[in-house]
Every structure is written in structure tokens, then in C-alpha cells.
Amino acid sequence: MKRDPNDLQRYTASERANHWVVGISFILIALSGLALFHPAFWPLSMLFGGGVWTRILHPFLGVLMAVSFAAMAVRFWKLNVMTPTDWEWLKRAKEMVNGDDHNMPIMGKYNGGQKMLFWALVVCMALLFVSGILIWRAYFSGFFPVGVVRLGAVVHAAVAAVMIALIFVHVYAAIWVKGTIRAMWYGTVTRPWAKQHHRAWYKEMTGK
Amino acid sequence: MPLQSLDIAARSATTTPPPGIRKTLEVAKLIDVTKCIGCKACQVACMQWNDVRDEVGENHGTYDNPRDLTANSWTVMRYSEVESQERGLEWLIRKDGCMHCEDPGCLKACPSPGAIIKYANGIVDMQQENCIGCGYCITGCPFNVPRISEKDHKAYKCTLCSDRVAVGLEPACVKVCPTGCISFGSKEDMKDIAEERVVELKERGYGNAGLYDPQGVGGTHVMYVLHHADKPGLYHDLPTDPAISPMVSLWKGVTKPLATLGLAAVAIGSLFHYVTKGPNEVSKETEKEVEKELEEEGKQ
């Protein structure tokens, strides 16, 4: 079902499906995690069938997210290797945020900001997975000294907060840059969108 | 409240103060380790009153039976054989169980509103119907006391017989102790009894005898008289200066408001960025360029 034969394919169906599994598991794990984190968010536990169900489901959702994210990271890590142009882009990121992208360096499939987000998420996911195992009382906590479990609890809470903030930025960036979200739905972007935001990738795809 | 004797002083995962117009007498249990003969009557009474039965275990080469606290054994006698130059072999026996901290680490760590309650009289009690079984209480406890039951996945520990205390009775272990090693009453009275006993012990040559009421957790509502108060570790690793771990304080302290405000700032900041800077659309210029390219392609 091609909407416009001139559109450019940015993501395959399998990449999109992978991203949605990560996205859905992230939303569920963030909501259930927040419920266990602060009494202000406790009512979110009702979405999962109460506190006990929240406690049971949260770590399994975490495993789902970790596995699906790992699969996505394997697909995309090569595209996210930082280059000198990316660092240059990051130096000028403030101009971009202020609404002026005229001086931004030409970017490939991903810009410096997207790449930094990718690596920050890789680090967060790894830390959350390890600390999550430490504090998973039903199966694992008993194997570790209590001092390690306590450290795990702090790391888990702090890193989770950072990761939720990163995802806020990720989602907002997609809303802010018009014409982006369709890439997540059906995988294509318009040629002007590609030329505007990822000129080097545009050239690679079209030869122009 | 249905029972004035069970007025609540603190409630887990609750940010507003509990009802507090009344002041209740603070209670305490005093365990005089120097009078304990290790008969385990307290363990039996605890099981009987609270109607919990543990599995029959195996002999591990010690008198400790069961070997550790469990969801069904809320108190366990700990037998330590200690050898020193001055005194030769000493058999130090300590009744282990919840210390009922004034500043309870379990309650601080608990994420479920009302699953752990501290009564105004000082007793820290788990409300299993609100417990979600996460085990954070185990992570928070400086004494390694709470246990999650494998049967119902709820946390259990000594209640200081809150049901008995509520109606003016002493805890079951106090009632049954044949040597008078365990006393129960107001915390002030228990301190007085301990003080007299410490003087006695010092006269008998235990120069370091003293009361164990650790201030790192704000004092406890279960206290020990120890012959060697300078070395609590002799008594099956009783912590010398217990306190809520700095990690737990960080986790349950500053992290919570900081993360909440940080996330709110990012969300609201994004909204206002959109409102003030506007969306990032493709420029007309780029659109025209692409149109031109496509036209040229069509001509070729």
C-alpha cells in the first residue's frame, strides 16, 4: 500500500513491529514502576489490577522490554556510531532547539542527538536490567547480600527516572518535527522531510 | 479508630500525617539476655498465640531451631559460643526477632500504602491484607527480620502481639518466659528495670554490661540487656550501631521528589517549547527543491 511512490522507506515492517513491542512494554513498565516508586503514583497500580498484580507483572514486563530493546539495539547500533559531524551537530543543537536549523551540519539517517539518545538508552536499559534482577525478590534478591540489593534499588529508581525523561524527549522530538511519526506507523517519510532533516541519508536514498 | 490503644503514628507510602490529637504511652519489651536459659518457651508461645507452625527442619549442628527467622517463626533463639582469655567459654543466647524501631526501615522502604503501620505505642506491625509481596521491607530492615511467606507471598514478622497489647495483655513470649528474662511495659519503666540490672551485672564483674537501645534507629521498642554491651556482635552478629542504610534513605528520600519534579519539568518544558517555538516543519524552500528534482527526473 504505497501512499506516494516518491516517499522514502525509512523502516521495514519488522523494525516497526520491534519498536512497538519496546514502546508498549515501556509504557506499561513505566506506569507500573512509577506506582511502586512514589505514593503519588500509587493509583496507577489500579491499571494493572492492584498492587499485588503490579508487583508480579512489572519485572516480567521488564524482561520483555529488555529482550525487545536488545533486538532493536542489534539492528540499529551500526547506524548510531558517532562521527565528528555528529559532535559538531551537538555543539549547535541549541540553535536547532531555538528554531533555527540553517547552520546545522548535514546529517545521515540519524543526527547526533538521536545517536546520543540511542546510547543513553542502551546504558539505561543495561543498568535497569541488572539492578532489576537484584531487587526481584521473588526469584533473585535472596542470592545477593542486602547491601547490593539496596544499591540496586537506588540505581533502579534513579536510572528509571532518567530513562522516562529521555523517552519524554524522544516522543516530544517526534511530535515537534512534523512528518516524523508516520515513519513509526507505516515506515515511510516524504522526500522533503528527508532532505530537510537528514540530507546525507536523502542523498544516499535518491542519489540527489 | 476502633481501638485507642492502636492509634497510628506512621503509615507506609503515605505522605500526609496520621490522626494525632492523642498521645499514647510508648511500650517496650526488655529482653535480659543474661537471664536467658535458652529453653525456647518464647518460641513455642509465639507459635501458639499467633497460630503459625513452621516446617520441621533438619539439625544443622547448632541449637538454633529453626535455623533462621521465617514467615512462620517470628522469633528464634540464637546460640553463640564465645571463647575469650578472661572468661573462657561463654554461651550467649539471644532471642532474635523484630526490634520495633522508632524509625523503622521496613516502613520507610514499603511502597504499598498502609501495608506497614507504626502504632503510637511504638509497635511496628505489618498489615498483610495491604502487602504486595515486593520484599522492600527486607531491603529496608537494618536487622534482617521480615520474611516473605512462600505460601501467600506476604511479609511476616513479630507483631509484638499487638492484638494482646491492644487489650492490655503482655506479649505471649513475655507471659511464658520461666526465668523472667522478658519484661513488658512502658518504655520508661523498661529502661529503669534495665538500669538496675546493669548495676547488678557490673557488680558481678561484667564491667561492660549495658542496655541495647540503638539510637541510630531512634531507639527500639524491643531492647536487650547485654553482659557485653560494648560488643553486640558477639550475640549472633547483633549490629553495633544499626541505622537505616544511606542507600535506603537516598532511594526513599531525595530520589522521590527529585525524580517526580524532574519528569514534570521535562514534560511541561516540552509543552512550552512547542507553544513558544512552534513545530519544526519542512521549509517551503526544501519542498520546492524536491519538486524540481522530481520534475527533472520525470523529463529524463
B135, B281, B293: residue with CB nearest A137: B135
Distance from CA of A48 to the nearest CA of B (A): 13
Q: List, for chain A, all residue ranges whose pLDDT scores fall below the cut of 50.
A: none
| Mean pLDDT (whole number) for B137-163 | 97
State the catalytic residue, choosing from A38, A170, A197, A198. A170
pLDDT of residue B2: 73
Distance from CA of A110 to the nearest CA of B (A): 16
Q: What is the b/e burial string over A163-175, where b = at least 16 CB atoms within 10 angstroms of the residue's CB? A: bbbbbbbbebbee
Q: Which segments of chain B belong to CATH 3.30.70.20? A: 4-240
Q: Dig out the grid coordinates for B193 from the structure.
A: 528495670
Residues 1-60 of A with CB under 8 A from B: 6, 35-40, 42, 51-52, 54-55
- How many Cβ atoms sit within 10 Å of the Cβ of residue A145? 8
A135 interface with B at CB cutoff 8 Å? yes
Query: What SS3 state is found at B85?
Result: coil
| pLDDT of residue B255 exceeding 70 | yes
**pLDDT per residue over B184-226, tens digit each?**
999 999 999 999 999 999 999 999 999 999 999 999 999 999 9
A54, A154, A206: residue with CB nearest B255: A154
pLDDT of residue B1: 59
- Would the CB atoms of B280 and A178 count as touching at under 8 Å? yes
Chain Cα centroid distance, residue A118: 7
> Residues 6 or more apart from B177 whose CB is under 8 A from it?
B41, B42
Backbone torsion region of residue B192, taken as left when φ is above 0, otherwise alpha when ψ lies between -120 and 50, otherwise beta: alpha
pLDDT of residue B297: 83
pLDDT of residue B299: 72
H/E run at residue B119: strand B116-119
Residues of A in contact with B256 (CB under 8 A): 37-38, 157
Distance from CA of B257 to the nearest CA of A (A): 8
* CA atoms within 13 Å, Cβ hemisphere of A20: 13
**pLDDT per residue over A105-143, tens digit each?**
999 999 999 999 999 999 999 999 999 999 999 999 999
Residue where the block lists cell 540496586: A152
> What type of residue sits at position B278?
G
- Which of B191-195's residues contact partners 24+ apart within 8 Å by CB, and which partners? B191/B28, B191/B223, B193/B30, B194/B30, B194/B32, B194/B223, B194/B225
Percent of chain B surpassing pLDDT 70: 99
> What type of residue sits at position B83?
E
pLDDT of residue B300: 64
Percent of chain B surpassing pLDDT 90: 91
Residue where the block lists cell 526490634: B99
B134, B247, B266: residue with CB nearest A36: B134
Residues of A in contact with B279 (CB under 8 A): 176-178
Distance from CA of A7 to the nearest CA of B (A): 11
| pLDDT of residue B99 exceeding 80 | yes
Three-state secondary structure of chain A = CCCCCCCEECCCHHHHHHHHHHHHHHHHHHHHHHHHHCHHHHHHHHHHCCHHHHHHHHHHHHHHHHHHHHHHHHHHHHHHCCCHHHHHHHHCHHHHHCCCCCCCCCCCCCCHHHHHHHHHHHHHHHHHHHHHHHCCCCCCHHHCCHHHHHHHHHHHHHHHHHHHHHHHHHHHHHHHECCCHHHHHCCEECHHHHHHHCHHHHHHHHCC
Query: CA B60 → CA A85, B68, B233, B235, B238, distances in Å?
Result: 66, 11, 21, 18, 21
- How many Cβ atoms sit within 10 Å of the Cβ of residue B28? 26
What value does the mean pLDDT of chain B take?
96
> What type of residue sits at position A16?
R
- Would the CB atoms of A161 and B278 count as touching at under 8 Å? no
Percent of chain A surpassing pLDDT 90: 94
Catalytic residue flag (residue A170): yes
> What type of residue sits at position A200?
A
Q: Which of A123, A10, A122, A124 is nearest to A70 (CA)?
A: A122
User: Looking at domain B4-240, does it have CATH number 1.10.3720.10?
Assistant: no
Mutation pick from A101, A111, A117, A146 vs chain B, by most beta carbons of B within 10 Å, is A146
B15, B138, B279: residue with CB nearest A176: B279
Q: Which residues share a beta bridge with B76?
A: B96
**pLDDT per residue over B35-65, tens digit each?**
999 999 999 999 999 999 999 888 988 899 9
> What type of residue sits at position B38?
G
pLDDT of residue B204: 95
Distance in angstroms (rounded) separating the CA atoms of residues A75 and B201 = 72
Contact indicator for B254, A164 with CB cutoff of 8 Å: no
